Amino acid sequence: MISVSLKWIAEQVEGRLIGSDCTIDAVSTDTRADLTDALFIALKGKNFDAHDFVEQAIAKGAAAIICEKKVDSECRQIIVENSRHALGRLGAAIKAKVAPKTVAVTGSNGKTTVKEMLAAILSIRHPVLATQGNFNNDIGVPLTLLRLQEEHKYAVVELGANHPGEISYTTDLVKPDVAILNNVSAAHVEGFGSLHGVARAKTEIFRGVGGQGTAITPRDSEFYPCWQRACSDMQWKTFGLSDSADVYASDVTLNSEGHPSFTLHLGGETKQLELKLSGRHNVLNALSAAAAASELGISLNDIANGLQQVQPAQGRLTTIKVSDHLRIIDDTYNASVASTKAALDLLGSYQGYRIFVLGDMGELGADARAYHEDIGEHAIGSGIDNLYSLGVLSQSASEVFNGHGGKHFGSLQSLVESVLQRLTEQTGKQPVTVLVKGSRSAHMERVVAAIQQAVTVSDSVEDKHAC
């Protein structure tokens, strides 16, 4: 964080300073972090109260604390009515003081990928601050803003939400110059009541855009009329796969690894490029990032160069070559209906024997089973050979797929054994590709690790026999 005085911080968070002034250049909400000379903010939640750890923060070297009640200590204190809101106010104040050109990104799917694409494009010529990990909620967004330094010319901030009003709050902190609504699909439906509730909540991102700001949305969406109304009094650009969009792609193809090539059309210019990411859906993510970068005045050459530098993140359609006969597509970071269908489309593009391993997709509300049945139908249309499920809800997908090789498993071990059996049967015939997908709560990364370990052990034993 940039260096500011404790007195300035007290003014920004509307708090009462107790003790002398000092300079602060680090803020933390975690007593496990290095708190030497830092400002510690004691947050309160439904199941925790960091005020219980204030003495620990002071013992670890905190220079000052923000809290909701006076602590019996000589440590400098800023007393506020709500420490969570104080964190937000401070993040917003730091952002306003540094004043980088800022892009906010939300959507049901792909927002992290778009964020990484934009960061890669913008960092070609200037330092960029970008959201790390999943710091995209009402706590993570201000913590991201507090990482700003004077040299940051750009900031790319990811905004997530699981209930109405959350994006409105975080957008007001960020006050973006460009706001991207990447897409709307069945994700976190439980917290929004319906798919239309998701759309309404995501549209909150446009309320915090300044008069000179720009909204970016997909052109081909059932919610396009909704976005027309929401963006009627601001600059607005669209992206898509047809020339009805302001920024679009043509001539989309996938190579043998599933990496897309396409022609990017932007502002009357064109550029041919190939992504290192897998899946046709990443073309739309690239178009979204390109549209935003263009609004910041970035050249088409820099946009193309940045997009082509982006590498896949772990657990996000990461291709793992386990052996000469087996490829695993690890897409276990999270799952929604749209992202699962996109992953299935990628699996269907590979040659050879194809197995889909599905864990439960979470937070889909009352229609969760119907959404999982829809995935089973999509898997049939993708032409894959087996659908193996692990989890209560995912069983609905394998039941739909049953006549085509669907099967539900009650344990990780039995599922892995079945995959290995299929691999053995196909050895010498054709390669096997296994897609593993599920929400974070399903912990499907265990399946990836178990298959890798089993194949590695098996290959090691065969090598010893060969010797």
Give the residue ranges of the annotated binding site for ATP. 107-113
CB 351 within 8 A of CB 363: no
Closest CA to 260 of 248, 251, 269, 247: 251
Annotated binding site: 107-113
Closest CA to 436 of 323, 352, 349, 316: 316
Q: Rounded to an integer, what is the distance from CA 5 to the centroid of its chain?
A: 34
| Residues 6 or more apart in contact with residue 357 via CB below 8 angstroms | 388, 389, 390, 415, 419, 434, 435, 436, 437, 444, 447
Q: Quick one: CA dihedral 259, 361, 398, 437, positive or negative?
A: positive
Complete DSSP assignment for 295-337 = HTT--HHHHHHHHHHPPPPTTSSEEEE-SSSEEEEEE-S---H
How many other β-carbons are positioned within 10 Å of the β-carbon of residue 409? 21
Amino acid occupying residue 348: G
**Run of H or E residues at 386:** strand 386-390
| Residues 6 or more apart in contact with residue 280 via CB below 8 angstroms | 252, 254, 260, 342, 345, 346
Q: How many residues does the chain have?
A: 467
Q: Which 8-state DSSP code applies to residue 66?
A: E
